[in-house]
Amino acid sequence: MSRVGKNPVTVPSGVDVKVDANAVTAKGKLGELSYQATDDVSIELKDGKVWVTPKDEGKRARSMWGTARAQIQNLVTGVSDGFTKSLEITGVGYRAAVQGKTLNLQLGFSHDINYPIPEGIKVVCERPTAIAISGANKQVVGQMAAEIRGFRPPEPYKGKGVRYADEQILRKEGKKK
- In angstroms, the CA 140 to CA 118 distance is 8
Residue 160 and residue 88 in one domain: yes
pLDDT of 116 reads 92
How far is it, in rounded angstroms, from Cα 162 to Cα 85? 13
pLDDT number for residue 151: 92
pLDDT at 12: 86
pLDDT for position 110: 93
What's residue 140's pLDDT?
92
**CATH number, domain containing residue 105:** 3.90.930.12
Instruction: Tell me, yes or no, whether 120 and 131 share the same domain.
Output: yes
What pLDDT, in 10s, does the model give residues 90-106? 988 899 999 989 999 99
Q: Is 72 left (phi over 0), alpha (psi -120 to 50) or beta?
A: alpha
If you count them, how many residues does the chain have?
177
Evaluate whether 123 touches 115 at the Cβ level (below 8 Å). no
Structure confidence by residue, pLDDT tens digits, 3-59: 877 888 888 888 888 888 888 888 888 888 888 888 888 888 888 888 888 888 888
Give CA–CA dist 164/131, Å, rounded.
Answer: 9
Number of folded domains in the chain?
2
For residue 86, give the DSSP letter.
Answer: E
Which sign, positive or negative, has the C-alpha torsion 32, 36, 40, 45? Answer: positive
> Is the domain of 72 the same as that of 59?
yes
pTM metric for this prediction? 0.83
C-alpha 172/C-alpha 150 separation (Å) is 20
Q: Given 47, 80, 113, which residue is the final one in a domain?
A: 80
Strands 113-116 and 16-20: unpaired
- Domain residues for the domain of 24 are 4-80
Tens of pLDDT along 113-163?
999 998 889 999 989 999 999 998 999 999 999 999 999 999 999 889 999
The model's confidence at residue 2, banded by pLDDT at 50, 70 and 90, is low
